Chain A
Amino acid sequence: MANKAYQRTYTHLSAITKATVSLDATHVANDELASVDGRLAQVVKTRGGNVTLQVFSGTEGIPTDAEVSFLGAPPSLKVGEQLSGRFFNAYGAPIDGGPEVEGEEREIGGPSVNPYKRRQPSELIPTGIAGIDLNNTLVSGQKIPFFADPDQPYNKVMADVALRADVDKIILGGMGLSNDDYLFFRQQFEAAGALDRIVCFINTTENPPVERLLIPDMALTAAEYFAVDKNEKVLVLLTDMTLYADALSIVSNRMDQIPSKDSMPGSLYSDLAKIYEKAVQLPSGGSITIIAVTTLNDGDITHAIPDNTGYITEGQLFLRADSDSGCVIVDPFRSLSRLKQLVQGKKTREDHSQVMNAGVRLYADAQNAKTKLENGFDLSDYDLRCLDYAKEYAKRLLSIDVNIRIDEMLDTAWELFGKYFSPAETGIKQALVDKYWKGK
């Protein structure tokens, strides 16, 4: 700090709320960081000579004569190859006992990619999970959340996906992660020997909630470094975005903003879009793919958080427990990957999209048969075959425990079709039936 003389220190707060403090100060820049009684804070509002600061770790115990000094810059992260294999807190400080990272300091929450300079995503990301690869294929540069109730094993699925995906870097942004889950991720990454390609930014439930607001921007600044500067394929995992949105609502509430639906701030859509839209396929070959988790309340996707998310992301992966097969499955009806047609049949086998559609359609017929059964109507032979098919389909393909290659998924589907149905009942194009049909 060459111009230390310019460091401005104040010692009189004019107002304190649970998340913010206000004081009279001059020459304060919007978004600038400050230290309030030793805690990190950021300028969120200037009115006349009065400045409001959002104190990330909360204002408990801050006195009105607390020392406030402005740091002259917005939040930033030092980027460099040394980020690999490291664990950081929301401020980008190491929490793994390692040394500080040396590198170029970059502002977080930087500018957007010019949409004209983007490329259309076209590379498949295989995960081994058929509920994803077969029915909702992921593409690099895509942004997609898991929609799951809190009791679903979404963190495990996400760790599996990350470790199986063929990417250069995995960046984990953990928001409100329980300490157990944090240790789980750590142990999984270590066990897989993948630590050298992982960067983690962690805010656990033990940390103050408002700090979470920094996590996605930190993770994505690191991601942009690897994708833009190093032309790498980067996968960013964000869990749990619902807790991020909750933190947004806390801050907007403290700032007396009028809430919109579900007491979320009116800017929720833009706030979430700013994060998710960082997913990109760059012309240079680098890419950022975002897989997030949005926890639901009892499967309710009309709540403002999943609803706004659904309008922003390119589909969603819906996890649910399936009582027929006893597995947790990727729900084929409510899940969707909007980019799947960019790779299906192009980067995968020609029969991919027809097999996918037939599989889901027959599974839907099984659900109708189930409803009939529950309502006490008689079942036809076709209905019974559908029910048997559904059980095996759920277990062998929809379950999140599956880990096979896409060709094997397709072969398994053909095997099930052959076992339970006639070619006409599947409605698949004749040319493909001639080539791939198994059995009768």
Chain B
Amino acid sequence: MATTGKVTGIVSNLVTVQVDGPVAENELCYVYLGDTPLLAEVIKVSGNNASVQVFESTRGLQGGDKVEFLGRMLEVTLGPGLLSGTYDGLENNLATMEGVFLKRGEYTAPLDKKKKWDFKPLAAAGDKVVAASWLGEVKEGWLPHKIMVPFSFKGEYTVGSIAPEGSYTIEETIAILIDEEGTQVPVTMTQKWPAKIAIKAYREKPRPQKIMETGVRVIDSFNPIAEGGTGFIPGPFGCGKTVLQHAIAKQGEADVIVMAACGERANEVVEIFTEFPELVDPHTGRKLMERTTIICNTSNMPVAAREASVYTAMTICEYYRAMGLRCLLLADSTSRWAQALREMSNRMEELPGADAFPVDLSAIISNFYARAGMVILNNGERGSVTFIGTVSPAGGNLKEPVTESTKKAARCFYALEQNRADQKRYPAVNPIDSYSKYLEYPEICEWLNARIEEGWVDNVLKAKNYVRRGREMADQINILGDDGVPVSYHEAYWKSELIDFAFLQQDAFDSIDALCPMERQKYMLDLLLQICDKEFHFDDYEKCRSFFKELINTLRQMNYSEWESEDFCKYQGEIKKRLSENGK
């Protein structure tokens, strides 16, 4: 019989329950407010008292209220139809909820149970299969959505029978599997998996081997993120975190995008609903919404479900990865999730770590980032989950626990800088402080040099160095004054400005500049290095300044022009002319 209990204590959404039987850590339960069941999760057990975090407001709950344990952890329902859906942190479908306001205890099914999918078998009777083996395929939009042996199945199975090609709902049996003892197990198109446990039904997880293009120059060229890699974007408010993340979501070279809006503004989610259905995926020409799933737990939604939202989002990505697809998970913002952990730890009166965050914060963050990665499936195909999280550091100070913990876990660091944002140099990614560890991977460098051009990685490092030198010169000029330094200092400074304005800065709102393909990035970087490698002769710093200012202006016009268009070639010519007039 299922364990039950009764409420003995309430502090905000932390409820203590006296239980009459066994309970498991992270087990779900319903706390009954009259007849309304409020979903909650066990987070601590001591004696026969369980502490549970309720995913809803606990207003009106009383000591003695009934609690019913469900014998399972928080599970994500997986199956065709997840794409283009909008869910809350517990995977309730927000679109099918009634009324303008969210109602407590209203839980909606994530998938449409009536919709028929055109199923095509991939396996045949007699095949030996294991968890995550592909049994069949349906078309979800344009994506081949694989129907798999449920991840929870242990050991080897034989396919007893499989449904012929035809239309089925997600609840109809599409295959009968026979386990090693001869028991017949029916399989449908949908399955469930506990959100907090990583799906490991793959052969191996090698080091990432290639780059995921985003069309954002400061990322792809300067600090590339690997397909299956991890990165994070910390930055004070108003520095363009959201714009950068939306740019990556729009342009990222991925088959599936999951956006976890975790404790952020509801209007930002509204922007995604409103705009994505109109926007076109630059890689496939299909509507962006077709490949996007939104998990949203906005800042005014129940705090406990914030944590659930990032795990739910990750589980959905892992599910699509097992189909051999490239998935990109964007979580905005992981700081809000950490704050939710802090609130709970605080209510449980645990001894606090730095800034009152729980002491295991760092471990929780690393474990989560570790779920990303490129994998080789059991059938030899490849799938990946690339994860980029944003961090909202308190007061814009990067020396705070969430940023520091994330820095240990993520391989790419895109530091947004207040100063750059104030100067409207967008994206405000600091070119010196930011890094990509992937540029240190020999296999990635090899791939980049082969994919883009021989010596590409060296060129990138060279360009970075020009920017660094320019910054040093700028400091000298500021201290000593324009006249107090040799003209060559000005030249070095302006060369770095050239790279900054013509390459690092990018207009996310311009239809052409927003997306810069790798080929174009290569052309621009080569051109800029060609200019920077030149030695110029200027009589004074004013001449140097105006020369570079004009050059920058032309290069920017070039960025706004269509690749290799008439205008583009015109500006190309202008630049050549200017360069031949000065320099050797």
Query: Interface of A with B (CB < 8 Å)?
Result: 26-32, 44-49, 74, 107, 109-121, 141, 228, 257-261, 266-267, 269-270, 273-274, 277-278, 280, 282-283, 302-304, 307-308, 310-312, 314-315, 333, 336, 339, 341, 361, 364, 375, 377
A111 and B342 alpha carbons, distance in the complex (Å)? 23
Q: Is there a chain A Cβ closer than 8 Å to B97's Cβ?
A: yes
A107 and B394 alpha carbons, distance in the complex (Å)? 33
**CB closest residue in chain A, given B9:** A47
Interface centre among B267, B269, B340 (most CB of A within 10 A): B267
Chain B contacts with A in 459-485, Cβ cutoff 8 A: 481-482
A-side contacts of B271, CB under 8 Å:
120
Chain B contacts with A in 258-297, Cβ cutoff 8 A: 263, 265-267, 269-271, 273-274, 296
Chain B contacts with A in 365-392, Cβ cutoff 8 A: 392
Contact B299 A277, beta carbon cutoff 8 Å: yes
Question: Can you report 15 A-B residue pairs in the complex whose CB atoms are below 8 A from each other?
Answer: A45-B9, A46-B10, A47-B9, A110-B101, A114-B94, A114-B97, A115-B298, A116-B273, A117-B100, A260-B356, A267-B339, A267-B346, A270-B263, A277-B300, A307-B395
Q: Is there a chain A Cβ closer than 8 Å to B406's Cβ?
A: no
Minimum C-beta distance from A315 to chain B (A): 8
Of B58, B62, B101, B481, which contacts A111 at CB under 8 A? B101
Of B266, B267, B269, B299, which contacts A270 at CB under 8 A? B299
With A114-B100, A270-B303, A270-B343 known as contacts, the answer to whether A29 contacts B267 (CB < 8 A) is no
Contact A114 B267, beta carbon cutoff 8 Å: no
A377 and B483 alpha carbons, distance in the complex (Å)? 10
Q: Is there a chain A Cβ closer than 8 Å to B534's Cβ?
A: no
B-side contacts of A310, CB under 8 Å:
236-238
**CB closest residue in chain B, given A73:** B60
Q: Is there a chain A Cβ closer than 8 Å to B396's Cβ?
A: yes
Contact B270 A114, beta carbon cutoff 8 Å: no
B-side contacts of A269, CB under 8 Å:
263, 299, 336, 339
Chain B contacts with A in 113-145, Cβ cutoff 8 A: none
Interface centre among A32, A109, A266, A364 (most CB of B within 10 A): A266
Minimum C-beta distance from B465 to chain A (A): 27
B-side contacts of A30, CB under 8 Å:
10, 58-62
Contact B60 A74, beta carbon cutoff 8 Å: yes
Chain B contacts with A in 296-330, Cβ cutoff 8 A: 296, 298-301, 303
Q: Is there a chain A Cβ closer than 8 Å to B182's Cβ?
A: no
Q: Is there a chain A Cβ closer than 8 Å to B16's Cβ?
A: yes
B-side contacts of A74, CB under 8 Å:
59-60
A-side contacts of B273, CB under 8 Å:
116
Interface centre among A32, A111, A120, A261 (most CB of B within 10 A): A111
Minimum C-beta distance from B266 to chain A (A): 4
Q: Is there a chain A Cβ closer than 8 Å to B103's Cβ?
A: yes
Minimum C-beta distance from A41 to chain B (A): 15
B-side contacts of A304, CB under 8 Å:
394-395
A269 and B303 alpha carbons, distance in the complex (Å)? 10
A-side contacts of B62, CB under 8 Å:
27-30, 46
Minimum C-beta distance from A157 to chain B (A): 21
**CB closest residue in chain B, given A339:** B267
B-side contacts of A48, CB under 8 Å:
8-9, 63
Contact A46 B63, beta carbon cutoff 8 Å: yes
Chain B contacts with A in 132-169, Cβ cutoff 8 A: none
Of B100, B269, B352, B396, which contacts A282 at CB under 8 A? B100
A267 and B341 alpha carbons, distance in the complex (Å)? 10
Contact A258 B59, beta carbon cutoff 8 Å: no
Q: Is there a chain A Cβ closer than 8 Å to B95's Cβ?
A: yes
B-side contacts of A266, CB under 8 Å:
339, 342-343, 346, 356
Q: Is there a chain A Cβ closer than 8 Å to B1's Cβ?
A: no
Of B8, B104, B300, B356, which contacts A259 at CB under 8 A? B356
**CB closest residue in chain A, given B301:** A112
Minimum C-beta distance from B556 to chain A (A): 11
Task: Name 7 extra pairs, CB < 8 A, besides A47-B11, A303-B395, A339-B267.
Answer: A26-B63, A45-B10, A47-B8, A116-B94, A120-B270, A260-B342, A269-B263
A-side contacts of B301, CB under 8 Å:
112, 115
A116 and B100 alpha carbons, distance in the complex (Å)? 9
Of A119, A277, A333, A341, which contacts B298 at CB under 8 A? A277
**CB closest residue in chain A, given B306:** A270
Minimum C-beta distance from A305 to chain B (A): 11
Minimum C-beta distance from B24 to chain A (A): 24
Minimum C-beta distance from A270 to chain B (A): 5
Q: Which 8 A-B pairs have the closest CB atoms?
A: A302-B395, A273-B299, A277-B300, A116-B94, A310-B237, A31-B59, A260-B356, A47-B9
Interface centre among A109, A110, A120 (most CB of B within 10 A): A120
Q: Is there a chain A Cβ closer than 8 Å to B3's Cβ?
A: no
Interface centre among A48, A109, A119, A260 (most CB of B within 10 A): A260
B-side contacts of A314, CB under 8 Å:
265, 267
**CB closest residue in chain B, given A51:** B63
A274 and B103 alpha carbons, distance in the complex (Å)? 16
**CB closest residue in chain A, given B481:** A377
Of A114, A120, A273, which contacts B101 at CB under 8 A? A114
Q: Is there a chain A Cβ closer than 8 Å to B86's Cβ?
A: yes
Of A29, A141, A261, which contacts B355 at CB under 8 A? A261
**CB closest residue in chain B, given A277:** B300
**CB closest residue in chain B, given A116:** B94
Minimum C-beta distance from A367 to chain B (A): 11
Minimum C-beta distance from B295 to chain A (A): 11
Q: Is there a chain A Cβ closer than 8 Å to B422's Cβ?
A: yes
Contact B352 A258, beta carbon cutoff 8 Å: yes
Q: Is there a chain A Cβ closer than 8 Å to B102's Cβ?
A: yes
Interface centre among B8, B298, B395, B396 (most CB of A within 10 A): B395
A314 and B64 alpha carbons, distance in the complex (Å)? 43
Minimum C-beta distance from B243 to chain A (A): 10
Minimum C-beta distance from A280 to chain B (A): 8
Contact B342 A115, beta carbon cutoff 8 Å: no
Annotate B28-65 by CB proximity to A: 1 below 8 A, 0 otherwise: 00000000000000000000000000000111111110
Interface centre among B58, B300, B340 (most CB of A within 10 A): B300
A30 and B347 alpha carbons, distance in the complex (Å)? 15
Minimum C-beta distance from A231 to chain B (A): 12
A124 and B583 alpha carbons, distance in the complex (Å)? 52
Contact B64 A26, beta carbon cutoff 8 Å: yes
A169 and B482 alpha carbons, distance in the complex (Å)? 57
Q: Is there a chain A Cβ closer than 8 Å to B99's Cβ?
A: yes
Contact B392 A270, beta carbon cutoff 8 Å: no
Minimum C-beta distance from A246 to chain B (A): 18
Q: Is there a chain A Cβ closer than 8 Å to B449's Cβ?
A: no
B-side contacts of A112, CB under 8 Å:
101-102, 266, 298, 300-301
A315 and B300 alpha carbons, distance in the complex (Å)? 18
A-side contacts of B60, CB under 8 Å:
29-32, 74
Minimum C-beta distance from B507 to chain A (A): 12
Contact A116 B11, beta carbon cutoff 8 Å: no
A229 and B9 alpha carbons, distance in the complex (Å)? 36
A-side contacts of B355, CB under 8 Å:
260-261
Contact A311 B392, beta carbon cutoff 8 Å: yes
Q: Is there a chain A Cβ closer than 8 Å to B397's Cβ?
A: yes
A280 and B102 alpha carbons, distance in the complex (Å)? 14
Of A45, A114, A339, which contacts B11 at CB under 8 A? A45
A46 and B356 alpha carbons, distance in the complex (Å)? 23
Interface centre among B61, B86, B271, B299 (most CB of A within 10 A): B299
Contact A267 B266, beta carbon cutoff 8 Å: no
Of A29, A45, A116, A260, which contacts B97 at CB under 8 A? A116
Contact B300 A258, beta carbon cutoff 8 Å: no
**CB closest residue in chain A, given B98:** A114
Minimum C-beta distance from B523 to chain A (A): 26
**CB closest residue in chain A, given B97:** A114
**CB closest residue in chain A, given B356:** A260
Chain B contacts with A in 554-576, Cβ cutoff 8 A: none
B-side contacts of A29, CB under 8 Å:
59-62
